[in-house]
Amino acid sequence: MRLLLIICVLVSLAASAEADEQRAGPTGGTLLLAGGNLSNPKIFAKFLEFAGGSDANLVIIPTAMPDEYLNEPGFESELIDSFRNHGFQNISILHTRDTRQADSQSFVDRIDDADAIWFTGGRQWRIADGFLNTRSHQALRGLLERGGIIGGSSAGATIQGSYLARGDTKTNTVMMGDHEHGLGFLVDVAIDQHLLRLNRQYDIFEIIRAKPELLGLGIDEDTAIIVQDGIFEVVGSSFVAVYDGTFSRIVHDTNDWSKWHIEVKPLAADSNKFYLLGEGRRYDLQRRLPVK
């Protein structure tokens, strides 16, 4: 009986550890999630650095954008030039609205040859329609496992969470729409974007209250989080809002202002409070706590 109890405890601990590890995000590689309207050169410099430098093979996926943009003359060359201006030399575009094409060996090979992937802005449900649960989706996970980077801005950030905020095909003001599954590179996470600029800071509470197991993240414009080894760091001009059922703030020592600690207090289930993390602040996705 005692041996059986020990085995049950060990199995339970292993399952818990596995769940925590999964919740922390990918065990390899890097994610870069930006809130839209990027102009901060530091964010692009970080993307280039983690991609491996100017010789890295970058594949841009513009599937979130509407067809009228994609079919506009000069669109592809302008998109490529925008990343060339930030130091990339080897750039190509991969796009489909057909999961059969995303299941094809040619698409998988393109992702397998990439060092970095970038998802553009637009509507996140279009990316889900083209890539979710396909062989290309698995190849994207493989890119992370071998140490690559997946980045994206606006819709290209939201799609990287497991729950697809603003995934409704009718309008982007519906928080819980007809598409609710993202690519899941961050598990048990819902991501909103353009946060403060578009006064969206309270919208995600609808999702969090319906699905309290989720961590909510709201990323403002010209701001990004860089995720590695279960920790994210904020880079950019504005803030990232965290909705984790607590309220966090920095408390300074009254006798020595240079000394400080992070105070975290639990919130009531119906609270509308959240907290903001600025550039350089870090957050542990596994423990769901800000860290120094």
Tell me the pLDDT tens digit for each residue of 186-220.
Answer: 999 999 999 999 999 999 999 999 999 999 999 99
- Give the pLDDT confidence score for residue 257 in this predicted structure: 83
Q: Is 13 among the domain residues? A: no
State the average pLDDT over residues 225-229.
97
Q: Is 4 among the domain residues? A: no
Structure tokens at 81: 């030039």
Q: How confident is the model at residue 23 (pLDDT cuts 50, 70, 90)?
A: low
Q: Is 190 among the domain residues? A: yes
- Give the pLDDT confidence score for residue 182 in this predicted structure: 98
Please name the amino acid found at residue 80.
I
Q: Are 230 and 285 in contact (CB under 8 A)?
A: yes
Q: Is 271 among the domain residues? A: yes
pLDDT tens digit sequence for 41-53: 999 999 999 999 9
pLDDT tens digit sequence for 25-73: 788 999 999 999 999 999 999 999 999 999 999 999 999 999 999 999 9
Q: Is 15 among the domain residues? A: no
What is the residue range of 195's domain?
27-291
Cα–Cα distance measured from residue 177 to residue 55, given in angstroms and rounded to the nearest whole number: 40
pLDDT tens digit sequence for 117-171: 999 999 999 999 999 999 999 999 999 999 999 999 999 999 999 999 999 999 9
Which CATH number is 98's domain given?
3.40.50.880
- Give the pLDDT confidence score for residue 258 in this predicted structure: 84
Q: Is 19 among the domain residues? A: no
Count the domains in the chain.
1
Structure tokens at 282: 């870090």
